[in-house]
Structure 1
Amino acid sequence: MPDLLRSWRSRMDPRAIPGLAASGRRSAGLTQRDVARLTGVSERWYGALERGSEAKYSADFLDRLSSALRLSPAERRALYLKAVGRPPALASTPDAGAAVDVDKALLQRFLDNQSPAPAFATDLAWNVIGYNEPLLDWFPWAAYRANQVRWAFLEPEARQHLVNWEQDWARPFLGQIRYERAHHPKNEALWQLEREILAGSPAARRMWDRREMVEHSHGALRRLRIPFHQGREVAVRIVALRPMRSDLLRVIVLLEDRHGSDAV
């Protein structure tokens, strides 16, 4: 495992990857810190994997790592076998975004026009299907088979990045899952997301019993502590939108709230 991951990192060109600063580097390839940022985990967590340490590495993380390192199908299979002792599941997961009627070019133009505010779009099951460049500066992992909710619950780093994780982020996310499941009971992607979150997170199972239901987080003030801000806590106002033609797509814009940040 150590030799494989070092080899895969060394062949990557950081200048070709959005969200990474490539100037001033003394050597080619990605550092462990780069890969950690691109996959949404801590450098310590990724370093443990590269050292061959055994841990409960999620399929979501391994898939993001495979995408970030541009692994071939054979290399992805090798990664799974080395990391968790089994091959990856067949790529047959339900795609909630398949039925979304959206003009992708128009959506991308809208997202780009939100700069400098980070903005992204997800399908009904919170799979990221579009983003602008500022979003990648804040969350580089969003470009790699990302699912917003899986990351929030299944990656340890999320609890450090999402301030007041349980009250402000985890419980509202679970409430939104319950809300969407009630309105789309036959949606396979939502059902699978619920199952994976509850199976992989004891905290989620405990909070799920509260039976809270939340429609959306539009207008909510939340706080982040991410590497892009060098550890500084930043308050953001969440703007959540849905096109009039479809409730299978959501667009999120994160507006930095200076007043909220000053109050921290």
Structure 2
Amino acid sequence: MNAELPDTPHMITRVLRAARERHGLSTDQVAERCGVTGRWYRALESGRPRRHSNALLTTVSDVLDLSEEEYLVLYRLVGTQDLPAKVMAPQASDPVPPRIRTFVEGVEPWGAYLCDYRWDVLAHNDALARFFPWIKEGVNIAEWIVNDPNAPANLINWETDWALPMIAQLRLHDEQWKNDSRMQAVTQSILSTAVGRRLWSSPELPTLSYPAAETTRQLRGLDARRYDVSFVPLMPLQLPWYRFMAVMPAWRSPATVTRTR
């Protein structure tokens, strides 16, 4: 039986409401500045499914002074869909091109992996397995972070630094790819657990879905030491549904990860 989605605000609601409240504006004031009716703007902020022109979304962005990432959330959920269907919902069986696989496996000394927008691991290198021995092709990153009982012991500040940002990303992708059966299966897997449902509805859920590359997080290695790392995301231009991730030390030496005593 599928788990029901908790009654929580849409990601677009969280982004627009937070931006509006930063400026101390009511919905009617935003609507007036955008040149639209209050009813139209409230429908937009409520997350009702409808597509809008780039010009109109740009106006909303300018009025609310949205950051680049906030605008990206707005566009991805209600902007004009001008990308091919294959890009919006590629098949799960699409093979990883050999050169991209070779690149991922050859990234050293840092850990690296390739996943799709569903967080299914498609390729990884040996260096990553030294931090995440559970990693293998077919494993889902989101499900492991939220559902695996070992994750809180391996990921320092598990809930605030790892699980909640992951849930914020999941909610965005869940809304964007509602017709993707695999994406929905991942969501249902996480919502089938009490922890997943609690995090999904958490008032501490980040408004922004993707932590900046400069964000430092800690994990516990196989040697039981704490390591400070940053995750640097990249997207192959010809394969925009792929996510390449490099796990880099938080300091500048390329050979050694900073160790926290």
Given the superposition, is the C-alpha separation of residues 262 and 128 from structure 1 closer, same or farther in structure 2, using an over 3 Å criterion? closer
Matches within 5 A, 1:1-264: 98=91, 104-143=97-136, 145-200=138-193, 202-209=194-201, 210=203, 212-219=206-213, 220-227=215-222, 230-258=223-251, 261=258
For the 8 Å contact 2:227–2:260, the answer to whether it is kept is no
Q: Distance in 2 between matches of 1:100 and 1:154?
A: 24
Aligned AA (1:163): I
Q: Distance in 2 between matches of 1:147 and 1:99?
A: 13
For the 8 Å contact 2:123–2:137, the answer to whether it is kept is no
Given the superposition, is the C-alpha separation of residues 212 and 176 from structure 1 closer, same or farther in structure 2, using an over 3 Å criterion? same
Consecutive aligned runs of 4 or more in structure 1 exceeding 2 Å deviation = 96-104, 210-218, 258-264
Task: State the shift of 1:226 in Å.
Answer: 2.4
Given the superposition, is the C-alpha separation of residues 237 and 168 from structure 1 closer, same or farther in structure 2, using an over 3 Å criterion? same
Task: State the shift of 1:197 in Å.
Answer: 0.4
Task: State the shift of 1:241 in Å.
Answer: 1.1
Secondary structure of the structure 2 residue equivalent to 1:138: coil
Unmatched segments (≥5 aa) in structure 2: 1-88
Aligned AA (1:240): P
Q: Distance in 2 between matches of 1:251 and 1:100?
A: 18
For the 8 Å contact 1:236–1:256, the answer to whether it is kept is yes
CA deviations on 1:25-60 (whole Å, 9 max, x unpaired) are xxxxxxxxxxxxxxxxxxxxxxxxxxxxxxxxxxxx
CA deviations on 1:76-116 (whole Å, 9 max, x unpaired) are xxxxxxxxxxxxxxxxxxxx763586752111222133211
Secondary structure of the structure 2 residue equivalent to 1:244: coil
Bigger Cα displacement from structure 2, 103-112 vs 122-131? 103-112
Q: What is the aligned-residue identity percentage?
A: 25
Which one has the largest radius of gyration? 2
For these two proteins, the number of residue pairs brought into alignment is 166
For the 8 Å contact 2:142–2:166, the answer to whether it is kept is yes
Q: Distance in 2 between matches of 1:206 and 1:140?
A: 27
After TM superposition, the score normalised by the length of structure 2 is 0.57
CA deviations on 1:107-159 (whole Å, 9 max, x unpaired) are 12221332110000111211111001111222222126311111112211110
Unmatched segments (≥5 aa) in structure 1: 1-95
Aligned AA (1:105): P
